[in-house]
Amino acid sequence: MKKKLNCILLVDDDLPTNFINERVLKKIDCTEKIIAVQGGFEALEYLKSTDKETNPQPDLIFLDINMPGMNGWEFLENYSHLEEVQKSKAIVVMLTTSLNPDERDRAKEIPQISGFLNKPLFIDGVKEILEQKFPEYV
């Protein structure tokens, strides 16, 4: 890897999934910082933070679809209303355990979504996203 991403944000209400996803990202060694939050509200608060030293803007967001409180679709609706500086240039990849093809079709219609993976993350899937979306880093 040429250089690392600055920050990856994991948004998933399931602690074991966040743990596994963090392990995969650490094994690939593709980012300086991994932030894991447990839902859409917490992710939005993180993105709105003005302390960019402690809370750097993510280059990549892995977003679960099915979460209580605010699901991934609702997060994206709120995310689209953030100021550009708060959204940064983050690539958003949706994560799901569902086999429902309607979710993939819906994701294709939303411009903020750059990819769709089954969860938990796996090394080859992450590497593929990195190669496609961040070629200068691989």
- For the segment 20-73, what is each residue's pLDDT rounded down to a tens digit? 999 999 999 999 999 999 999 999 999 998 787 778 999 999 999 999 999 999
Evaluate whether residue 38 is within a structural domain. Answer: yes
In a domain, 85, yes or no: yes
pLDDT at residue 138 is higher than 70:
no
- Structurally, the chain folds into a number of domains equal to 1
- Of 53-62, 73-82, 83-92, 128-137, the poorest mean pLDDT is in 83-92
Residue 89 domain boundaries: 31-121
| 24 domain residue, yes or no | no
Q: Give the rounded percent of residues in the chain with a pLDDT score beyond 70.
A: 97
Which of the four pLDDT bands, split at 50, 70 and 90, describes residue 100? Answer: confident
The answer to whether residues 11 and 70 touch, using CB atoms and an 8 Å cutoff, is no
Q: Give the pLDDT score at 36.
A: 97
CATH number (domain holding residue 63): 3.40.50.2300
Domain assignment present for 7: no
Q: Residue 76, class by beta-carbon neighbours within 10 Å (0-12 exposed, 13-18 middle, 19+ buried)?
A: buried
The token duo for 30 is 């593709």
Say if CB 134 and CB 114 are below 8 A apart.
Answer: no
DSSP 96: E
Whether the CB-CB separation of 115 and 133 falls below 8 Å is answered with yes
Q: Does residue 109 sit in helix, strand or coil?
A: coil
